[in-house]
Amino acid sequence: MKYTDPAGIERTSMDIIRGELAARGISLPPENEAVILRAIHTTADLDYAETLAFTPDAVQRGTAALAAGADIVTDTNMARAGISKATLAKLGGAAYCYMADEVVATQARAEGVTRAAVSMRTAAKEHPDAVYAVGNAPTALLELCALMETGLRPALVVGVPVGFVNVVESKETLLKTCQRLNVPAIIAIGRKGGSTVAAAICNALLYTAAGTLDPGKR
């Protein structure tokens, strides 16, 4: 069958995902379904149905923040590029990434730390109530944890970096920190993740907040 309608392609893809999950005996929690489906839709990886972890009411709280005009901060320009900025703007927010900021780069070199860590410090000063979406750098997650210990309270933290070095450990630290401090979080347990997953999760929340989960309404 030939598909040419973008909205129809997306609806069919979501139906296929639901069917394959059902065949595996997996039933998604309704409150988290939109996020999980979009992560799978972006990656074609059904494992996200079982590896995405959610603190209590994380989707509800993140969606409410975006509906109220919260900004989104990412750790890569790739993730920022993948976010539906048109939807975000309609809700009153904007997307930011400080990784390419020269001041951030200079400070990181001077301190001997990653730009990702310094970019989180910079963002925390400018956008303390934002949704933070990290898809690449474990050091960004660890810096966010340190900042939360000293008072930062993001609207939501999406922690889905991909890789092999300190990835699993940083996600575990983030989950424990957010649970203890009552900061909502969505975390990809294990090594998998990436900037595309971070953007996909943000888009699921944005579309939910804007009432446009059905692609025909976008």
Residues annotated as catalytic (active site), given as ranges: 41
C-alpha angle 180-140-55 in degrees, rounded to nearest 5: 30
Q: How far apart are CA 214 and CA 218, in angstroms?
A: 8
